[in-house]
Amino acid sequence: MRILVTGGAGFLGSNLITQLLAKNDVDEVICLDSMLCGLDSNVSPHLNNPRFKFIKHEITQPLDIQVDRIYHLATPASPKVYQMDPIHTAKTIFLGTLNMLELATAQNARFLLTSTSEVYGDPLIHPQTETYWGNVNCTGIRACYDEGKRIAETLTFDFHRQKNTDVRVARIFNTYGEGMRINDGRVIPNFINQAIEGKPLTLYGHGQQTRSFCYVRDTIEGLMSLMEQEDIMGPVNIGNPDEHTMEELANTVIRAVGSTSTIEFNPLPGDDPRQRKPDISLAKKSLSWEPRVTLEEGLSRTVIYFKNKLGKG
């Protein structure tokens, strides 16, 4: 079993690789990354492992390599990062997915697309089920990512219908944990950093928008389970239904760090979804999967990781 992980030096990719290398039936894990958002520190722990191989590659270019499984993760996922060069983001998602589907088809490999809760946009039904078609502003500042992932899902199902490609689609909700970049720009890294440094936490808007956060290990177990199922293609929601307002999250992070930071209100970015919570009935039934780590437990582990990164461990 040879497994390709695109975006393998990134947050989710590196955690996935650690889990894959722990499995006896995996002969080789190939990590592909452009290192735009990838971290050397996510790759270096594996470099001495003979079952691990790193290839620096821009996913917008085709690739010819022998593989049995493709986990396609390569894309910046933080709004701050994907909005810095939105044309590159859209190109990476579309061409990257196309190239990996071509490779999967040529190799008779199974392909798993990591799609996103962002395909639901600013959702009009709550919690979100896989049957909901979403509410995305196709001209907004988040569209390069949201619409990118929507066309990526379309391509994936068209490859299956037209070329019989063996595909799986996961819709991942907000995930956090070890391996995130300090300056990632997403809410949990921002809040933890600010709380450790004793700076005010930058709450956007009135802080009443909600998200549901899943600890990275739980997310990875969900993805690996979906990849090995024989009778479901998806899309399947992978996330933790434990929903919080961003104001609640700020206070939970302050407690987890033991910080004296205050909260500072900042303008709400454009098209920021008001609420998000996965319905995970399908994952529970078809993957026998559900998240196990609570927000408090996951945050305390993540705080240790960030303190070490900041030299304050």
Q: Minimum CB separation from ligand UDP for residue 174, in Å?
A: 5
For 94, the enclosing helix (H) or strand (E) is: helix 86-107
Compare residues 206 and 285 and give the one whose CB is closer to ligand UDP: 206
| Contact status: 174 vs ligand UDP (CB under 6 A) | yes
Compare residues 79 and 177 and give the one whose CB is closer to ligand UDP: 79
Distance CA 5, CA 69 (A): 8
Identify the active-site residue in 71, 82, 145, 215.
145
| Contact status: 12 vs ligand UDP (CB under 6 A) | no
Per CB under 6 A, the list member of 132, 204, 265, 305 interacting with ligand UDP is 204
The packing angle between helices 11-21 and 216-227, to 10°, is 60
The residue written with tokens 């705080």 in the block is: 303
Q: Minimum CB separation from ligand UDP for residue 199, in Å?
A: 11
What is the dihedral angle through the alpha carbons of 222, 224, 227, 228, rounded to the nearest 10 degrees? -110
Which residues on adjacent β-strands are paired with residue 72? 6, 113
Compare residues 264 and 296 and give the one whose CB is closer to ligand UDP: 264
Q: Of the ranges 13-21, 158-166, 203-211, 218-226, which one interacts with ligand UDP (CB under 6 A)?
A: 203-211
| Contact status: 238 vs ligand UDP (CB under 6 A) | no
The residue written with tokens 């994936």 in the block is: 156
For residue 18, how many other CB atoms are within 10 A of its CB?
17
Distance CA 58, CA 54 (A): 13
Q: Minimum CB separation from ligand UDP for residue 55, in Å?
A: 28
145 is catalytic: yes
Distance CA 12, CA 23 (A): 17
Q: Of the ranges 16-24, 50-58, 91-99, 183-191, which one interacts with ligand UDP (CB under 6 A)?
A: 183-191
| Contact status: 202 vs ligand UDP (CB under 6 A) | yes
Distance CA 179, CA 305 (A): 8
Residue type present at position 127: P
Q: Of the ranges 56-64, 91-99, 201-209, 251-259, which one interacts with ligand UDP (CB under 6 A)?
A: 201-209
List of residues contacting ligand UDP (CB under 6 A): 79, 174, 186-187, 190, 202-204, 209, 211, 246, 269, 272
